[in-house]
């Protein structure tokens, strides 16, 4: 696979375009907006077709999101004007007791999306919320503040998932997730897929492979029209991070997997992808992209029970070694300068882990960390796109957590379209080495089609990799119940996605005891 240099020089013209693109992403939130905004709009069609969402909660608030889009997959259907949107928080679903309200502005620069950062609320409390624009009212969502930073919660319930390919199935698993009593939901990437439509799929994508800002906006809107996805977003706050398909398959920093791609053109496309991602997610203003750059890694605490470090393993990585794919282990994998996180993010993560007072320290990230051999027999093959392709970087992080005695490290992973449970250790080849952490990997929501239990394959995987405790190829998500003494992960699966209404099955459950790394099946 051809890779161009990540440090390729951009022409003066392209530097100007990239700079102008970054300015275009920064609408003026100044005092002129209230006077310019339409406050009494009348809509012939429902502008809240994409639902509502909340995210990134704090002890005193959270982000509320919606987008005005009466024609969601045709550019949104809104005039190029600013609209005033009213938001309300209530302690009851009937909105008899309004706890807080205010006005926000939906601007054409951000696709008429709305991001409200609510502050000044009591800690550890649920609210209902809704939006109104003119004569239109949004659906109702639920959001909650987290416990105070010094609080000691008795329990946290959350779920995590990834990889929801529209064409490959129905988002039934998300509908089941919306029925659970969850405090949080984590989405670990591949929220959309950028591909052109293919024949004979369960559902069809709405355009060619996406590259322009309008393309990305319409693709996100298509996915958000799914009622199960909307229901899951409305149920509780989400913590989101991307992987590759929010931009382009197997991207590595500013390097494309395709031959002959100009890095400047690739970054222009990335600016489009990042803007659309920000527009469609319940993210704070500090995450707003600057052209082709967007800081998505961040920390969210749940009292002193849990500390979530949401990581970005795409934007800052070096090129995949050995031309990507599954390859035998060699010196390229052990390159001490290769990185998935980049220096700045890695140092931020290490500093945060040292400073953490939390009982459980959770890394929400994209690609599998365990050094899994995918080849049966004497040979070995490892994924160059995942942490095994960057083994020096991975071992440095694992050694750091082990040597600094970071309490109860747990890695949550998506990407791979399979369920896994892995013991983490610095030397995966040493069966006698005690684990220093645990990795839970969630399968896809739909990507890869129906899937299956794969019991024979599980035996092969475990014989080659004794640290693997579970392997399964069905679709679904993972529900987690966390207390000061125990972590429980329930692997929730649906047996088919090629038609709606698959029942939910708890396929397996694993427990990690606080202070004792390694998962045990229950």
Task: Say how far apart CA 522 and CA 517 lie, in whole Å.
Answer: 16
**Are 109 and 183 in a shared domain?**
no
Which residues make beta-bridge pairs with 65?
Answer: 53, 115
| pLDDT tens-digit map of 69-79 | 999 999 999 99
245 vs 195, 220, 274, 481, CA distance in Å?
A: 8, 12, 12, 29
Please check the confidence at residue 32 and state whether its pLDDT lies above 70: no
**Are 248 and 114 in a shared domain?**
no
Structure tokens at 363: 């890394």
Is residue 363 one of the residues assigned to a domain?
yes
**Are 256 and 300 in a shared domain?**
yes
**Are 140 and 160 in a shared domain?**
no
Q: Determine what percent of the chain is predicted with pLDDT higher than 90.
A: 90
Domain final residue, candidates 114, 144, 174: 144
Consecutive H or E run containing 326: strand 326-327
Task: Say how far apart CA 518 and CA 522 lie, in whole Å.
Answer: 13
Please check the confidence at residue 12 and state whether its pLDDT lies above 60: no
Domain final residue, candidates 79, 109, 144: 144
Secondary structure of 381-448 as H, E, C letters: CEECCCHHHHHHHHHHHHHHHHHCCCCCEEEEECCCCCEEEEEECCCCCCCCCCCCEEEEECCECCCC
Average pLDDT over residues 167-194: 98
Task: Say how far apart CA 393 and CA 320 lie, in whole Å.
Answer: 13
**Are 326 and 256 in a shared domain?**
yes
Question: Residue 391: which CATH number?
Answer: 3.60.21.70
Report whether 220 contacts 229 (CB < 8 A). Answer: no
Which pLDDT belongs to residue 35?
62
With b for 16 or more beta-carbon neighbours within 10 A and e for fewer, the 236-267 pattern comes to: bbbbbbbbbbbbbbbbbbbbbbeeebebbebb
- In this prediction, residue 13 has a pLDDT band, given cuts at 50, 70 and 90, of very low
Q: Determine what percent of the chain is predicted with pLDDT higher than 70.
A: 93
Is residue 128 one of the residues assigned to a domain?
yes
Three-class SS state of 521: strand
Please check the confidence at residue 109 and state whether its pLDDT lies above 50: yes
- In this prediction, residue 16 has a pLDDT band, given cuts at 50, 70 and 90, of very low
**Single pTM value for the model:** 0.94
Domain final residue, candidates 82, 109, 144: 144
Listing DSSP states for 44-106 in one string gives SS-S-TT-EEEEEEETTEEEEEEE--SBTTTTB---SS-EEEEEEEESSTT--SEEEEEEEEE
Please check the confidence at residue 298 and state whether its pLDDT lies above 90: yes
- In this prediction, residue 33 has a pLDDT band, given cuts at 50, 70 and 90, of low
Containing structural domain, residue 49: 32-144
Task: Say how far apart CA 252 and CA 341 lie, in whole Å.
Answer: 11
**Are 329 and 383 in a shared domain?**
yes
Please tell me the least confidently modeled range out of 28-37, 45-54, 165-174, 324-333: 28-37
Is residue 202 one of the residues assigned to a domain?
yes
Please check the confidence at residue 24 and state whether its pLDDT lies above 60: no
Report whether 53 contacts 70 (CB < 8 A). Answer: no
Is residue 201 one of the residues assigned to a domain?
yes
Report whether 27 contacts 339 (CB < 8 A). Answer: no
**Are 179 and 319 in a shared domain?**
yes
**Are 372 and 263 in a shared domain?**
yes
Please tell me the least confidently modeled range out of 21-25, 110-114, 394-398, 468-472: 21-25
**Are 118 and 242 in a shared domain?**
no
Is residue 522 one of the residues assigned to a domain?
no
Average pLDDT over residues 303-314: 98
Is residue 268 one of the residues assigned to a domain?
yes
**Are 74 and 220 in a shared domain?**
no
Number of domains observed in the structure of the chain: 2
**Are 312 and 361 in a shared domain?**
yes
Average pLDDT over residues 503-509: 98
**Are 339 and 372 in a shared domain?**
yes
| pLDDT tens-digit map of 56-67 | 999 999 999 999
Please check the confidence at residue 5 and state whether its pLDDT lies above 60: no
Is residue 443 one of the residues assigned to a domain?
yes
Is residue 316 one of the residues assigned to a domain?
yes
Question: Residue 75: which CATH number?
Answer: 2.60.40.380
Within 13 Å, how many C-alpha atoms sit on residue 299's CB side? 16
Torsion angle of C-alpha atoms 23, 29, 31, 32, degrees rounded to 10: 60
């Amino acid at each position: 696979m051809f890779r161009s240099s990540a440090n390729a020089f951009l022409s003066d013209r392209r530097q100007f375009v990239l700079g102008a693109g970054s300015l275009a992403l920064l609408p003026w939130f100044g005092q002129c907006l209230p006077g310019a905004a339409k406050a009494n709009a009348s809509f012939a069609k429902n502008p809240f077709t994409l639902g509502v969402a909340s995210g990134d909660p704090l002890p005193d608030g959270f982000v509320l999101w919606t987008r005005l889009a009466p024609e969601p997959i045709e550019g949104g259907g809104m005039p190029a004007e600013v609209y005033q949107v009213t938001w309300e928080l209530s302690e009851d679903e009937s909105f008899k007791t309004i706890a807080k309200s205010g006005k926000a502005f939906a601007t054409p620069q951000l696709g008429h999306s709305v991001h409200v950062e609510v502050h000044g609320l009591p800690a550890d409390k649920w609210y209902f919320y809704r939006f109104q624009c003119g004569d239109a009212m949004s659906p109702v969502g639920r959001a909650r503040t987290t416990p105070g930073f010094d609080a000691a919660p008795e329990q946290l319930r959350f779920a995590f998932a990834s990889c929801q390919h529209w064409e490959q199935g129905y988002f039934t698993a998300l509908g089941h997730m919306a029925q659970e009593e969850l405090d949080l939901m984590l989405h670990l990437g591949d929220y959309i897929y950028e591909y052109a439509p293919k024949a004979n799929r369960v559902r069809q994508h709405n355009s060619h492979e996406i590259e322009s800002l309008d393309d990305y906006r319409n693709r996100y809107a298509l996915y958000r029209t799914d009622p199960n996805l909307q229901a899951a977003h409305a149920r509780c706050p989400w913590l989101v991070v991307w992987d590759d398909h929010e931009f382009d398959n197997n991207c590595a920093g500013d390097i494309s997997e395709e031959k002959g791609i100009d890095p400047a053109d690739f970054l222009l496309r990335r600016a489009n992808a990042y803007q659309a991602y920000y527009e469609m997610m319940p993210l704070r203003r500090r995450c707003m992209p600057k052209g082709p750059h967007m800081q998505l890694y961040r920390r969210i605490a749940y009292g002193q029970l849990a500390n979530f470090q949401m990581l970005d393993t795409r934007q800052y990585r070096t090129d995949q070694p050995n031309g990507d794919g599954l390859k035998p282990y060699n010196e390229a994998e052990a390159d001490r300068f290769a990185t998935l996180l980049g220096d700045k993010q890695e140092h931020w993560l290490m500093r945060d882990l040292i400073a953490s007072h939390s009982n459980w320290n959770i890394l929400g990230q994209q690609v599998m960390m365990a050094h899994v051999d995918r080849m049966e027999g004497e040979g070995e093959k490892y994924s160059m796109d995942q942490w095994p392709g960057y083994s020096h970087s991975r071992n440095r992080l694992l050694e750091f957590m082990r040597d600094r005695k970071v309490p109860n490290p747990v890695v949550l992973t998506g990407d791979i379209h399979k369920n896994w449970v892995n013991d983490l250790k610095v030397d995966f080849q040493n069966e006698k080495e005690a684990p220093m952490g645990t990795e839970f990997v969630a399968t896809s929501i739909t990507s890869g089609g129906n899937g299956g239990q794969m019991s024979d394959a599980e035996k092969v995987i475990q014989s080659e990799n004794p640290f693997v405790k579970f392997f399964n190829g069905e679709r679904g998500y993972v529900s987690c119940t966390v207390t000061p003494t125990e972590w429980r992960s329930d692997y929730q699966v649906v047996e088919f996605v090629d038609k709606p209404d698959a029942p939910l099955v708890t396929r397996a459950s694993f427990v990690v005891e606080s202070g004792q790394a390694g998962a045990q099946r229950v």
